[in-house]
Amino acid sequence: MAIVWYPDTREFHLRNDFISYVIALLPDSSPALAYFGKPLALDGRYSRLVRFEARALSTHQKGLPPSFCLDFVSREYPTYGRGDFRFPAVELETEEGFPLVLDLHYKDHRVISGKPEPSGLPATYCESEGEAETLVLLLEDRAEQIEVELFYTLFAAHPILARRAAIRNNSGRALRLTRAYSASLDLDSPNWDLIHFSGAWARERHLVRQPIAPGVQGVGSLRGSSSAQHNPSAMLARPDCTETAGEAYGAILVYSGNFSIDVEVGSHGDTRLGLGINPFHFSWLLAPGDSFETPEALVGYTAQGFGELSLHYHELLGRRLVRGQWRDRERPILINNWEATYFHFDEQKLLEIARSAKDLGIELFVLDDGWFGQRNDDTSSLGDWEVNREKLPHGIEGLAGSITQMGLSFGLWVEPEMVSPDSNLYRTHPDWVVGSPLAKQTLGRNQLVLDMTRPEVVDYLYETLSRILSSAPISYIKWDMNRHMTEPVSAALAPDRQGEFFHRYILGLYSLYRRLTRSFPQVLFESCSAGGNRFDAGLLSFTPQAWTSDDSDAIERLPIQWGTSFFYPPSSMGAHVSAVPNHQVGRITPLWTRAGVAFFGAFGYELDPLKLSDTELEEIRQQIAFYKVWRRVFQFGSFYRLSGSPAVDDNLVAWMSVSQDKRRAVVLVVQVLAHPNPGFRRLPLRGLSPEQSYQVKVIPAVPVKNEASIRFNEGLRRGDELLQVGLLLGGDGWNGVSRGDFTSWLFTLEA
């Protein structure tokens, strides 16, 4: 790994074993991207790769050659108004609204070993200085007295750069920042597919792949959270890029609020990718001497297909973004009472569930919504974090005490950022909600949002949550957030600072999380937002796992977990087995299929065990015993998507995880619909060691007589054969033997 400055050719070369990233200074001294791809020889001769020339209708700056036209150049942190007509990375104006036309020229640079921490925002980190090196490029507009620092951290072990910017106002007057992207990436070809992850409640992060076209396209959020509608992550992949071959660039924001990912295809074969805080409804007042730090963006490259890029993002997010004691620890198998009881429970019912769960081998009992105030439905009590003694006469302390005495850990649901209009908190502090109390109010799930831009609200929530966490042996918190934001203003902010509302909200949220995770380092936090409405890298820095979706149906979970796995590691995905008919879609799936899908994540159950038959309980007991043996592979193994890309064949979905030492692996194959008389199919595996021999075993979700998956696959098989040929699927369907729909097979491989 090296970051080298070549003064003769005025270029920087950032290089590790996976990538080269070359930044060259242009004739006006602004930085351009000369190259981002497979490693090139460490040399200072690549600045000539940046091309520009005079064309009809092109413009050039006075004093520079006419050939120097910014509109075609691959710029590192573009500004608008000097001949580049594509969207910029940064915009500033005076307090009165007079736009600044910025020239950001090279002023200085430094190379730091390791990675400097941003202030107030979550970010990736290093554990030793040798893990990463950082280039800090200082740019300046001398006339306007603006400085921009661009941070590029290169990790030795990944084809990924952590990028962010800090914008400083050195002029003697106040300025307003109206756009501040984290990174901009100008590629020299228009030939890409945009891959992004979109959906809605209960169908989050479905993969979307579309060829890009001239003009601007992209995704974003204006909802106050990263959202279920679009995720702050995307890839640009060559049209022929697959899981295993081809070029792709990835970009993910370490941020939980309004974001924007834009792609602009220019008219000369160029593509610009920009990402950062959504500029809509954003502005930030920069007093003289103030600076603004953008969230971090993680920008990666692969020539080996997006499967390879996913592996690196999993490692980086899982091991150098997630923090704290739980980062590398196996996550407990939990039972959550939400789908078992909804709001209707009492202590006795919960203890019965817990006892049965303990008997099955479950490790953590989680009490969901409904334990506080008068919360018997979703119309009241958010904000009143006092236990409901009618339901729980011995309080949380008594319940948690009884449950921990059984040998289970205890976890609790909270939704701290919210308040019900029907609550004591709202009656006492109507001024604490987002929006002006005198103005219009829009409800979401009957609730309002607390104004996290106010330090007194954050302090109050810190005190309240600390009190709850200190009152009982609580080792897990599910932190929910069940609405999008409306009337996005804060009564606590001056009129000229209302554009800061959304970002300040997220900064308040992060500061609360930071304080709590520092004070209660033993607690495992799981974030949730009506399922996966805030499944993002910003929160992952504080909460090692997130509830992936309220949709717990195994078949619905296939595209959800598939899309989520492009950037986020399995250990971050809360995944539970629920009852049938499934509560979201009414589907009936085999119990082993439900478990098989949920195994590839932070595993648990979300059902009432007292309503299950003895056969089902016995199956669950087996599942839990099985998961305990394979948990580290499921949660922390290398994860590969094998088959079932929504774009190719989503009837047969297969994925696998391989232990770090490649000696153990698990493969899941789900057949969505049954078809008669199927053909044979080979499923090549990945990540195994070719020289190793593996003992293959299979657990069919619905075994049949003379089971083909056993006949074809069980036994000792060499890694090379498993990689080249793979598992053999099909059979059994010709003679009327039918397992029905939604069946699956779980294969284990042991060296």
Q: Is 550 marked active-site? A: yes
Q: Does 220 bind ligand GLA (CB under 6 A)?
A: no
Which single residue is written with the structure tokens 């001056």? 494
CB neighbour list of residue 673: distance below 8 Å, 6 or more residues apart: 651, 741
Give the interface size with ligand GLA as a residue count (CB under 6 A): 11
Nearer to ligand GLA, 12 or 547 (CB): 547
CB of 480 to ligand GLA, least distance (A): 5
Token digits of residue 1: 């790994």
Q: How far apart are CA 139 and CA 104, in angstroms?
A: 5
Q: Is 193 marked active-site? A: no
CB of 255 to ligand GLA, least distance (A): 21
Q: Does 417 bind ligand GLA (CB under 6 A)?
A: no
One residue of 122, 250, 279, 531 binding ligand GLA per CB under 6 A: 531
Q: 117-148: b or e for each residue (b if 16 or more CB lie within 10 Å)?
A: ebeebbbbbbeeeebbbbbbbbbbbeebebbb
One residue of 297, 530, 607, 696 binding ligand GLA per CB under 6 A: 530
CB of 547 to ligand GLA, least distance (A): 6
Backbone angles phi, psi at 598, to 5 degrees: -75, -25
Burial (CB < 10 A; 0-12, 13-18, 19+), residue 428, is exposed
Nearer to ligand GLA, 400 or 528 (CB): 528
Helix 455-471 with 501-519: angle, nearest 10 deg: 30
Nearer to ligand GLA, 369 or 500 (CB): 369
One residue of 103, 133, 243, 369 binding ligand GLA per CB under 6 A: 369
Nearer to ligand GLA, 415 or 707 (CB): 415
From residue 12, how far is each of 17, 341, 603 by CA, in Å? 17, 60, 45
Nearer to ligand GLA, 411 or 726 (CB): 411
Nearer to ligand GLA, 140 or 550 (CB): 550
Token digits of residue 396: 């949380």
Q: Does 480 bind ligand GLA (CB under 6 A)?
A: yes
Residues in the chain: 751
Interface segment toward ligand GLA; rule CB under 6 A; list 40-48, 54-62, 514-522, 526-534: 526-534
Nearer to ligand GLA, 527 or 589 (CB): 527
User: Of 604, 598, 537, which Cα lies nearest the Cα of 570?
Assistant: 598
Q: 668-690: b or e for each residue (b if 16 or more CB lie within 10 Å)?
A: bbbbbeeeeeeeeeebebbbbbe
Which residues in the 86-145 window bind ligand GLA by CB under 6 A? none
Interface segment toward ligand GLA; rule CB under 6 A; list 102-110, 279-287, 494-502, 525-533: 525-533
Nearer to ligand GLA, 106 or 413 (CB): 413
CB of 451 to ligand GLA, least distance (A): 21
Token digits of residue 243: 């899981």
Q: Does 368 bind ligand GLA (CB under 6 A)?
A: yes
Backbone angles phi, psi at 259, to 5 degrees: -135, 170
CB of 573 to ligand GLA, least distance (A): 14
Asked if 312 contacts 321 with a C-beta cutoff of 8 angstroms, the reply is no
Q: Does 479 bind ligand GLA (CB under 6 A)?
A: no
CB of 117 to ligand GLA, least distance (A): 32
Nearer to ligand GLA, 409 or 482 (CB): 482
Interface segment toward ligand GLA; rule CB under 6 A; list 160-168, 524-532, 556-564, 650-658: 524-532
CB of 227 to ligand GLA, least distance (A): 14
CB of 321 to ligand GLA, least distance (A): 23
Q: Does 338 bind ligand GLA (CB under 6 A)?
A: yes
- HSE (side-chain half, CA atoms, 13 Å) at 639: 27
Nearer to ligand GLA, 134 or 482 (CB): 482
CB of 637 to ligand GLA, least distance (A): 26
Q: Does 414 bind ligand GLA (CB under 6 A)?
A: no
Q: How far apart are CA 204 and CA 207, in angstroms?
A: 9
* Beta-sheet pairing, 364-367 with 409-414: parallel
Nearer to ligand GLA, 605 or 694 (CB): 605
Interface segment toward ligand GLA; rule CB under 6 A; list 101-109, 203-211, 527-535, 597-605: 527-535
Q: 213-234: b or e for each residue (b if 16 or more CB lie within 10 Å)?
A: eeeeebbbbbbbbbbbbbbbbb
* CA dihedral of residues 629, 632, 638, 643 (deg, nearest 10): 40
Continuous segment of H or E residues that includes residue 519: helix 501-519
Catalytic residue among 480, 536, 551, 553: 480
Distance of CA 509 to the CA centre of its chain: 17
Q: Does 284 bind ligand GLA (CB under 6 A)?
A: no
Q: Does 199 bind ligand GLA (CB under 6 A)?
A: no
Q: Does 639 bind ligand GLA (CB under 6 A)?
A: no
Interface segment toward ligand GLA; rule CB under 6 A; list 88-96, 352-360, 523-531, 677-685: 523-531
CB of 347 to ligand GLA, least distance (A): 19
Token digits of residue 751: 């060296």
Q: Does 528 bind ligand GLA (CB under 6 A)?
A: yes
Asked if 664 contacts 658 with a C-beta cutoff of 8 angstroms, the reply is yes
Which single residue is written with the structure tokens 């107030």? 120
DSSP letters spanning 419-431: E-SSSHHHHH-GG
**CB closest to ligand GLA, residue no:** 369
Neighbours of 403 (CB within 10 A): 25
One residue of 21, 68, 155, 413 binding ligand GLA per CB under 6 A: 413
User: Of 343, 460, 462, which Cα lies nearest the Cα of 392?
Assistant: 343
Catalytic residue among 28, 103, 550, 551: 550
Number of H-type helices and E-type strands within the chain: 13, 38
Which residues in the 543-572 window bind ligand GLA by CB under 6 A? 547, 550
CB of 550 to ligand GLA, least distance (A): 5
- Binding residues (CB under 6 A) for ligand GLA: these are 338, 368-369, 413, 480, 482, 528, 530-531, 547, 550
Catalytic residues: 480, 550
